[in-house]
Amino acid sequence: MTKMDALWAPWRMEYITHAKRQKGCLFCRVVKENKDKENLLLYRSRYAFCMLNKFPYNNGHLLVSPYRHLCEMDKLNRDEVLDLFAVLSKMQALLKKILKPDGFNMGINLGRVAGAGIPHHLHMHVVPRWKEDTNFMPVVFSTKIISQSLEALYDQLHKRI
C-alpha cells in the first residue's frame, strides 16, 4: 500500500458505507427533510438548490441541482434551466468572494459511465481550484479534517448568501 492509499482509505470507506446505508435519492431526501444545516443544504431557490458535497474533491466543492428528480437536461423546462444557472453563478460568485480561488471546474456528469455518483438526479459540480492544490489535497483531506471544515465552511458561506 502506498502512502497515498493509506491517507485516502478512511475517506473511501465512509463514502461506500454511507452510500449503502442511504435508500432512495439523496437530493430528493435532503430537499424534503428540511434539516438544511445538518444536510449541508446551503441555498434554496425557486426551482433549484445548492448543497455542499459531503465528499469533496476540493474545499468548497458545491452541488447545484433542480428540485425535480430527472436525469436529462432536455427534460428541464425553461424556468428550471434559468434558475439552475442563476443559482450556479450566484454560488460561484459566493465562493469567489469567500474562498478566493484561482479558478473553477464546473460541470455535469451525465450517467454512471461518465462518473455521476447519483445518475438519476441531475446535478452540477462547482469545484474551486487553487494553484498547486493537487499537491496538498491528499495530505490535507483526512476524514476528520473534512467533516470539521464542512461545518465551518457551511456557516461561512451561509451567512454571506
**Using CB under 5 A as the criterion, what x/- string covers residues 106-135 for binding Zn ion?**
---------------x--------------
Between residues 69 and 129, which has the closer beta carbon with respect to Zn ion? Answer: 69
Cβ closer to Zn ion: 24 or 103? 24
Catalytic residue among 61, 120, 121, 123: 123
Judged by CB under 5 A, the stretch of 66-74, 76-84, 90-98, 132-140 that binds Zn ion is 66-74
Query: Which listed residue (44, 54, 69, 129) binds Zn ion by CB under 5 A?
Result: 69
Cα(68)–Cα(62) distance, integer angstroms: 18
Closest separation between CB of residue 25 and Zn ion, Å?
Answer: 3
Residue 28 or 116 having the CB closest to Zn ion: 28
Regarding 25 and contact with Zn ion (CB under 5 A), the answer is yes
Q: Rounded distance, CA 133 to CA 119, Å?
A: 27
Residues 6+ apart with CB under 8 A from 126: 60, 61, 62, 63, 64, 88, 91, 92, 95, 104, 105, 106
Question: Residue 134 corresponds to which cell in the numbers above?
Answer: 493537487
Q: Are 154 and 30 in contact (CB under 8 A)?
A: no
Is 123 among the residues known to form the active site? yes
Residue 62, strand partner residues: 52, 126
Q: Specify the residue, 95 or 123, whose C-beta has the smaller distance to Zn ion.
A: 123
Residues recognised as catalytic: 123
> Which residues are near Zn ion by CB under 5 A?
25, 27-28, 69, 121
